[in-house]
Amino acid sequence: MKKYIIILLFIHYFIITIAGANSIKFLKTDFDNLRILIDIIDSEKTNLVVKGNNISLRYSTEKFPSIYQGGFSLANQITILNLNPVLKFFYDHNYDKTDEIPEYKDIMILSSNYLEYKNRKYRGKFFIVNKDKKYYLVNLVGINEYLKSVVPSEMPSSWHIEALKAQAIAARTYAIKVTIERRKKGEVFDLYSTVLDQAYYGIDKENPRTDEAVEKTKDLIIVYDNQPIWALYHSNCGGQTIDGRMVFPKRLDPTHQYLSSVKCQYSGKKWENKVEIYTIKKNLEKSIKINIYSIENIYTNNFRVYIIYNRNSIYSLYNWEIRKLIGYNIIRSPYISKIGIEGEHVVFEGIGFGHGVGLCQFGANTLAKNGFNYQDIIKYYYKNVEIIDLGRWLENANI
């Protein structure tokens, strides 16, 4: 009996230890330095040029991991020639004064105004971090500065202010949720700067109207069951949004209803695109690893596409899967209304643009014009959610 109690106590201790290791305490200030991936750098032919004002490079070493060595500089430009095996860099055009740092860990690049890289200007700092033989150029930037670039990159800044506010809250919630997940996994950056997460194109995108939308909704996030939601959004749904659990079954808990399908007040934009049968054949071969010598027919029914190939074989896949197979810009949405074969081509027709899950941007703008405010818009597209202050949520959060 005693033995069992000891075993039970051990199991109990073990469970508590595991649970403890998985939960991290997050503070609001943790989001003052979001880590946005700007580029992945070639370590040998680096030639990385960053422009700015009073630009300087700092680095850490094994011995001084938190001290960023390297001084202040009055240069307007830095060129990093190599990152591996040694760090080689020079300021402005002073190639003859190239510096070599043999053993370093991480690099930080600072500027007194902005950092310009590949014709885009960014706020905050740059950080170059090495993981698994890859070098990541990461922009450390506060969440508000980040959102002031994301919102106008994702929605036209000329749109109704209430739609822009709803977009700002959705983008903030998305950023917070994904950042928490990636930090818990110990990843080297929090968010991609592309549509893989949210489009972030730096300072040039900023606009006073979207700045206002970000400021007026400061710190507001969307929660469901007291957790930030995966705040998906898309251009236009085509008349009705699609249940997120259908499109992302691995990513979404089946009991979570916040991405349920809703009827939209914007009818959607029609599209028509054609693609060569040869392209479908090649992509399908790669995907299902079967030699395909002919495609006889292709049709759609109830969110599925059926491909008849090699005379009598049928391959069927969901409409969101064929978007991936053929291209997101060709099959612009999961609402495929018609598929026809014309000679060597297949013509696809449909309505909407994007995955169709969550907030419909054109629909949000329509609702705003019809008198809905940002709370109404958010609660229209995300079901059974609350909009709360990030700081208040963090106080009681179980992350």
Segment lying near Zn ion (by CB under 5 A), choices 36-44, 55-63, 192-200, 360-368 = 360-368
Within 10 A of 47 (CB to CB), how many other CB atoms are there?
10
Report which of 248, 247, 356, 346 is spatially closest to residue 300, judged by C-alpha positions.
Answer: 346
Query: Count residues contacting Zn ion (CB under 5 A)?
Result: 5
Q: Which residues pair with 305 in a beta bridge?
A: 300, 317
Contact 221, 387 (CB under 8 A): yes
Closer of 142 and 239 to Zn ion (Cβ)? 239
Site for Zn ion in 196-225 (CB under 5 A): none
Least Å distance between CB 296 and Zn ion? 35
The region of 20-28, 123-131, 229-237, 252-260 touching Zn ion under the rule CB under 5 A is: 229-237
59/381 with CB nearer Zn ion: 381
Q: Interface with Zn ion by CB under 5 A: which range of 35-43, 189-197, 230-238, 278-286?
A: 230-238
Kindly state whether residue 237 participates in binding Zn ion, applying the rule CB under 5 A. yes
**With binding defined as CB under 5 A, does residue 359 bind Zn ion?**
no
> Which residue in 272, 271, 268 sits closest to 362, CA to CA?
268
Binding part of the chain for Zn ion, among 19-27, 120-128, 299-307, 354-362 by CB under 5 A, reads 354-362
Whose tokens are 């020639």? That residue is: 81
93-152: contacts with Zn ion (CB under 5 A): none
Give the Cα separation of 154 and 320 in Å (integer). Answer: 21
Q: Which of residues 263-302 bind Zn ion (CB under 5 A)?
A: 264, 266
Nearer to Zn ion by C-beta: 82 or 366? Answer: 366
CB of 335 to Zn ion, least distance (A): 10
Q: Closest CB to Zn ion among 149 and 365?
A: 365
Residue 272 CB, shortest distance to Zn ion, in Å, is 19
Closest contact distance (angstroms) between CB of 213 and Zn ion is 20
Pair 217, 167: CB distance under 8 Å: no
| Position 259 contacts Zn ion (CB under 5 A) | no
360 near Zn ion, judged by CB under 5 A: yes
Q: Is residue 363 close enough to count as binding Zn ion by CB under 5 A?
A: yes
| Nearest-10 crossing angle of helices 208-216, 143-154 | 130
Q: Residue 349 CB, nearest distance to Zn ion (Å)?
A: 18
Contact residues toward Zn ion (CB under 5 A) are 237, 264, 266, 360, 363
